[in-house]
Amino acid sequence: MSESERKDTPEQAEFRAHCRDWLRDNHPGEPPVRLPQSAIEIMTEPQLHWLQAWQKAAYDAGLVGCDYPEAVGGGGRTDCQRVANEEMLAARTPFLPNVIGLGMAAPTIFYHAQEPLKERLLPRLLSGEDIWCQGFSEPGAGSDLASVQTFAERRGDRWVINGHKVWTSLAHFAEWMILLLRTDKSHKYDGLSYFVVPIRSALGKGVTVRPLIKITGETGFNEVIFEDLEVDDSYRLDELGKGWQVAMTTLLHERGGGELVTPRSGGLTSKTSFSPTARNLRTLAQETPRGGGTAADDPLLRDRIVRQFIREEALQQNQRRSRVPALQDHPMRLQLQYKLLISELAQDTARLGLEVAGPASTLYLADEHAPTGGQWPLAYMNSYGMTIAAGTSEIQRNILGERVLGLAKSK
């Protein structure tokens, strides 16, 4: 029996058995293409389609979106997504490609959209047929998100949108975007409103998506330009001027602190998928010649590799403890640390991977001599995406200091 099974409700226990049965027979196996390290690095149609097929299959089997009501395409279950996630991770599955849809757009739509819009958008979002993207950041608005300038002007019951979004992950594949914009220039926060807008169907008709090349050389994020894009007022979420509050729902779920558990699969270990973990670091060290032996014999490296094992274990145990109220002083304290700690841990592990690999860490993806296929330098560079996106580490520390420790707001 696994740790969490002991507390399963009858519904969860039955559902867990279903997940296991299904996963045993329906694991998609080895991917036909090299997969990127995460969904926001998906570059090619073959990668996307293979991953979309996985999400659709998992959705059809009831493993994705199970806590959403049936009316909006969900499974109508209670607290079962956690169970599905545990089983999908344990079965070492590929990740779900529609990350922004599942993690941010879906809960935001669920809590803030009118019923007909939910019924229209959520089924294809949960199944992964419609990829979603998030249009928050702009050239002038990053950490200070409320300063966005993209503007929607009212014309009857339609809106005309003009503006410029940047770093928009997955926009090149997205049907839809969640869009934070301004409907009133005289109030910073209360002048914001929140829309869902069709992107793909409007390409060339008011929407331009241009790829931005990442530090790694990969594509994956984009800039999106709106020039007189017309959308219907029915695409607005919540009231006019309530965009900031709606955006808080998005960010809360993005940071893992929301009510609805985000569907998550992953853990696929194969030649085509990689993440910078302590175990992978150990393997690298044991395979890297150093002196007469291997890098795993070097006392300094041993100490530092062990530190990564300890931090990984600590993070897992933080999650376990976050579900034990008697062992916490503040309800949000552990949850709000997760993003900061996991991103900095991955960064430090990847950086250490480079040190362990030594001179061979200079070799990149296409070099036949590169250790682990050049994945370590790729992971190290990609790790900065994690410490910057979704609120930088500095912003996370502000949030923790202010909301959890009660220190004065820095602004």
Partner 1 sequence: MTQPTNFGFGDECALLKDSARKFFAEHLPVDRLHALVAAHPDPEAPSGAPWRDDLWPAMVELGWTALAIPESAGGLGLPAVAVAGLMEEHGRAAFPGPLAATLATSYVLAAADSGTAALEEVAAGRSATLAFANAAGSWHAGDSPVSARGGRLSGTACFVQEPRKAERLLVAAQDEGGLGLYWIASDAAGVTVAPDTIVDLTRDQGRVSFEEAVAEPVGRNGLAAFHAAMPALWTLLAADMVGAGEWQLQTTVEYAQARKQFDRPLGFFQAVKHQLVDVMTRVDESKSLLYNAACALDHEPEKALQLAHMAKASASDMAAFASGRSVQCHGGIGFTWECYVHLYFKRQKHSEVLWGDGAWHRARLADILLGEVA
CB 251 within 8 A of CB 76: no
Out of 29, 156, 204, 299, the only residue in the binding site for partner 1 (CB under 8 A) is 299
Residue 282, φ and ψ in degrees, nearest 5: -60, -45
Bridge partners, residue 153, by sequence: 160
Out of 72, 197, 340, 378, the only residue in the binding site for partner 1 (CB under 8 A) is 340
Residue 40 sits in the site that holds ligand FAD (CB under 6 A): yes
Residue 146 sits in the site that holds ligand FAD (CB under 6 A): no
User: How far apart are CB 338 and partner 1 at their closest, in Å?
Assistant: 10
User: How far apart are CB 251 and ligand FAD at their closest, in Å?
Assistant: 10
Residue 37, φ and ψ in degrees, nearest 5: -75, -25
Q: Tokens 């250790």 label which residue?
A: 371
Residue 134 sits in the site that holds ligand FAD (CB under 6 A): yes
Residue 329 sits in the site that holds partner 1 (CB under 8 A): yes
Residue 318 sits in the site that holds ligand FAD (CB under 6 A): no
Residue 293 sits in the site that holds partner 1 (CB under 8 A): yes
Comparison of 309 and 384: residue with beta carbon closer to partner 1: 309
> How far is CA 237 from each of CA 35, 192, 195, 241, 244, rounded to the nearest angstrom?
34, 11, 6, 10, 11
Residue 259 sits in the site that holds ligand FAD (CB under 6 A): no
User: How far apart are CB 13 and ligand FAD at their closest, in Å?
Assistant: 37
User: How far apart are CB 341 and ligand FAD at their closest, in Å?
Assistant: 16
Within positions 365 to 394, which residues make up the interface with partner 1, using CB under 8 A?
A: 394
Comparison of 200 and 307: residue with beta carbon closer to partner 1: 307
CB 199 within 8 A of CB 177: yes
User: How far apart are CB 277 and ligand FAD at their closest, in Å?
Assistant: 20
Residue 217 per-residue DSSP state? S
Residue 4 sits in the site that holds partner 1 (CB under 8 A): yes
Nearest in space to 74 (alpha carbons), one of 84, 88, 60, 87 = 60
Task: Name all contacts of 279-285 with Cβ < 8 Å and 24+ positions apart.
Answer: 280/353, 280/372, 281/305, 281/308, 281/349, 281/352, 281/353, 281/356, 282/309, 284/353, 284/356, 284/357, 284/371, 284/372, 284/376, 285/356
- Amino acid identity of 356? V
User: How far apart are CB 393 and ligand FAD at their closest, in Å?
Assistant: 7
Q: Which does 136 bind (CB under 5 to 8 A by kind): partner 1, ligand FAD, none?
A: ligand FAD
Rounded Cα distance between 378 and 216, Å, is 6
Q: Which does 273 bind (CB under 5 to 8 A by kind): ligand FAD, partner 1, none?
A: none
Out of 388, 401, 402, 404, the only residue in the binding site for ligand FAD (CB under 6 A) is 388
Rounded Cα distance between 253 and 247, Å, is 10
Out of 68, 110, 167, 376, the only residue in the binding site for ligand FAD (CB under 6 A) is 167
Instruction: Indicate if 223 belongs to the active site.
Output: no
Question: Which residues, 6+ apart, have CB-to-CB distance to 170 below 8 Å?
Answer: 39, 40, 42, 99, 100, 131, 132, 133, 220, 221
Give the active site residue among 14, 254, 287, 355: 254
Count of alpha carbons within 13 angstroms of residue 253, beta-carbon side = 24
Nearest in space to 102 (alpha carbons), one of 322, 274, 222, 250 = 250
Rounded Cα distance between 127 and 57, Å, is 8
Q: Which amino acids are annotated catalytic?
A: 254
Interface residue list for partner 1 (CB under 8 A):
1-4, 6-7, 282, 285-286, 293, 296-297, 299, 302-303, 305-307, 309-311, 313-315, 317-318, 320-321, 323-324, 326-327, 329, 333-334, 337, 340-341, 394, 397-398, 400-402, 404-410
What residues line the site for ligand FAD (CB under 6 A)?
Answer: 40, 133-137, 142-143, 167-169, 221, 385, 388-389, 392, 394-395, 398, 410
